[in-house]
Structure 1
Amino acid sequence: MFIHIGDDHVIQSKDVVAIIDHSLVGSSSIIEEMLFNQRKNRRVVETEDHEAKSIVITQDVIYFSPLSVFTLKKRANMMTTLNKLEDFSEETEE
């Protein structure tokens, strides 16, 4: 399934490694170092028009998202719920 993370970015939910609050960046030297290294490798996608509220880490790219961690979590959980629903649509016979 896919998750819309803001700024016209849609990613596959299976690729998400972590979603962290943007406010944690300044308090963790490990996160700062990871972002520095990934920026050097051009693997960071910054938000365009909005302030970042969360950071979505995937297997290949790090995205800064204008959506909160809570909102992204709800979207991810919604996809999980939809996947568990059975298809009750009527099949048409020809």
Structure 2
Amino acid sequence: MFIHLGGEKIIRASELIAIFDLSIEKSSKISKQFITHAIRDKKVELIGEEESKSLVVTQSKVYYSPISSMTLKKRAHQLLTN
């Protein structure tokens, strides 16, 4: 199964680790460090040109998605329950 993250980006549901609201980037020291390391390792991808609303963590990358974390979580939940 696949999850659409916005723009033309689709990932395998099996690669998904976590979906966060973008506000976590500012509110948590640990998440700031995680993002800093991901940027340094060139494992961050910005999806589309719209304002980012969520962070999607996969096994290989961190995506900044223009789709809200609630919408992405609903999509992931629908895949798990079907």
TM over 0.5: yes
1:11-64 CA-partner distances (Å, limit 9, x unpaired)? 011111110000111111111111111111110001331111110000110000
The separation in 2 between residues aligned to 1:38 and 1:45, in whole angstroms, is 10
Pair 1:46 & 2:46 matched: yes
Aligned-residue Cα RMSD (Å) equals 1.1
Q: Is the Cα contact below 8 Å between 2:17 and 2:57 reproduced in 1? A: yes
The separation in 2 between residues aligned to 1:66 and 1:28, in whole angstroms, is 21
| Gap regions ≥5 residues in structure 1 | 83-94
Divergent runs of 4+, >3 A: none
| Gap regions ≥5 residues in structure 2 | none
Q: Is the Cα contact below 8 Å between 2:9 and 2:47 reproduced in 1? A: no
TM (normalized to structure 2)? Answer: 0.92
Q: For this pair of structures, how many residues does the alignment match?
A: 82
